[in-house]
Structure 1
């Protein structure tokens, strides 16, 4: 899907002395708040965008941080933190594309155990560095006193950032996590609510998850963020005007989709700008990542947007 507007900002020489405009490759999922951007209703001034469809979108994350396959990409927060720690040349934009509460994102067989019973048990999660797992483990630690290190984490995938190291209590399996759960090899599994609903007998580990979500928002004032937009560092440094135009187009697309009173959590979490709310959310994610050894380096949410502020916001 292309949103085509002529530009002289990305003109590169071609044979015969004529000019060629290369579109910027973009990998973002189809959301209500990206629809206007992807269908060309709004477009960045002076840029041509080539939208590469990747489904599920997490399959774009490893190619982005390992190969810089896209100029602009959706990226999970935990992957972003590991990429920053590893010095990968990607830069975060303050555009939240996806997020949710995760009190319902860990499931077990009905009536089998409570959160405190997870100590010393095995729990399945697609990848240890999956952002949903990051938020689930943080919630278990903060709310129930069950640290990440108290559990053995069984995974089917490694980190998107190739150099990222996993802690000793992480193991890999070739089996399906639900099959391991059925066999009694796992006590619980981290997965989306829609997937869990398709497994008979599987219920949220936290029965009062709705009340817990409301309590979390009353206490903190934010919803966990899962995915942000990122750009290649060389694009930002060489063409800050293009990145600025892309950022503005993303914000316009969000505004067009925004309802006066968001009816769902996933709609309410979508936001843009370096706000106190976003910084508080990401500082918590960073704390969780360090506690869980997803990253080992100190960093702050504000530092994640330092290059955005330098090249885009202050220009």
Structure 2
């Protein structure tokens, strides 16, 4: 029997990776040990700090910073997680914040400064709403995935370990909070906490209509030594992820899979607004604009020393013109 290369992949437990996890799709020549138990923050840390996984779904922002620092990682343009972010700007309702510019001069918390969701939000607030990122005093709860020295003029502090950034918002120690997840005070209906954009879906749809950007959150990272030793895994894994997503998207068209009364209507609305493949992989025109915007924000905000070209950030998946296609 031909021996396959055994690789450990850490990623989220998503529908679009289910065919890989269940073995419906098997990358040619590769045996995957797929780990889905870690939350995103922990997975990114363990990959970038400890290099515990061969391949990992990784914070796009932290990956960009890692490449700028010359750290031994590479990535595929496989974007397992995207999310619009206007609904993740939370405010203390007693602070008189009713519009984005009310954040200027305020104390604003973040999970960590480098988080991709927060990078997008700082960029969007600055570019679309006139809120300079250096006009805010920032408070971070966690250490960064990659060591980071704040640039001149950036006010950034880490809160004490015994404090919670979400509790600080509710109790008024900070005025607002940018967070990658829905925070507990919102889930619990705490009246002291609300959203900056109450109709965040309308804001997100307007943002997409203007920019064509459905923000990319994560990339598929590799240990550089692994790619150098086995370059053939790059197109093989890329093709496997494409196949898995195609199978998943076809399966998800069945409204019986999800216990939502208006699931079909939501699916049709998504297709009408975002097109048939909002989670497309590769570096087509839409994805290039998407990721170049993120790189631009990273440079503008002092996380990286230069705008890094995408051809330096992503491995080539080409198998030759009109070659390497698959049929589902």
TM-score by length of 2: 0.83
Q: Which residue of 2 aligns with 1:139?
A: 124
Structure-2 separation of matches of 1:158 and 1:293:
17
- Per the TM alignment, residue 169 of structure 1 is displaced from its structure 2 partner at its CA by 1.0
Cα 1:230–1:192 shift into 2, 3 Å: closer
Cα 1:218–1:116 shift into 2, 3 Å: same
- Per the TM alignment, residue 208 of structure 1 is displaced from its structure 2 partner at its CA by 3.5
SS at match of 2:87: coil
Q: Which residue of 1 aligns with 2:134?
A: 149
Q: Does 1:290 align with 2:299?
A: yes
Structure-2 separation of matches of 1:216 and 1:268:
18
Structure-2 separation of matches of 1:40 and 1:191:
34
Structure-2 separation of matches of 1:135 and 1:151:
16
Show structure 1 runs of 4+ deviating over 6 A.
Answer: none
Q: Does 1:32 align with 2:15?
A: yes
Structure-2 separation of matches of 1:224 and 1:7:
41
* Structure 1 contact 222–277 (Cα < 8 Å) conserved: yes
In structure 1, runs of 5+ residues without a counterpart are 1-5, 11-22
Structure-2 separation of matches of 1:132 and 1:262:
26
Q: Which moved more, 1:226-235 or 1:251-260?
A: 251-260
Provide the alpha-carbon RMSD of the alignment.
2.1
- Per the TM alignment, residue 262 of structure 1 is displaced from its structure 2 partner at its CA by 6.4
Structure-2 separation of matches of 1:8 and 1:291:
47
TM-score by length of 1: 0.86
Q: Which moved more, 1:180-189 or 1:292-301?
A: 292-301
* Structure 1 contact 279–302 (Cα < 8 Å) conserved: no
Structure-1 separation of matches of 2:228 and 2:124:
37
How many pairs are equivalent?
292
Cα 1:123–1:239 shift into 2, 3 Å: same
- Per the TM alignment, residue 122 of structure 1 is displaced from its structure 2 partner at its CA by 0.7
Q: Which moved more, 1:29-38 or 1:206-215?
A: 206-215
Structure-2 separation of matches of 1:193 and 1:157:
14
Output one character per residue of 1:48-88: Cα deviation in whole Å (capped at 9) or x when no partner. 11122332122111221223211110011111111101111
Structure-2 separation of matches of 1:263 and 1:248:
28
- Per the TM alignment, residue 166 of structure 1 is displaced from its structure 2 partner at its CA by 2.7
Output one character per residue of 1:251-294: Cα deviation in whole Å (capped at 9) or x when no partner. 111111114656658x9642212211111001110111111112
Match of 2:224 among 221, 227, 233: 233
* Structure 2 contact 235–319 (Cα < 8 Å) conserved: no
Cα 1:58–1:147 shift into 2, 3 Å: same
Q: Does 1:67 align with 2:53?
A: no
Structure-1 separation of matches of 2:102 and 2:8:
46
- Per the TM alignment, residue 192 of structure 1 is displaced from its structure 2 partner at its CA by 4.3
- Per the TM alignment, residue 45 of structure 1 is displaced from its structure 2 partner at its CA by 1.2
Q: Which residue of 2 aligns with 1:185?
A: 173
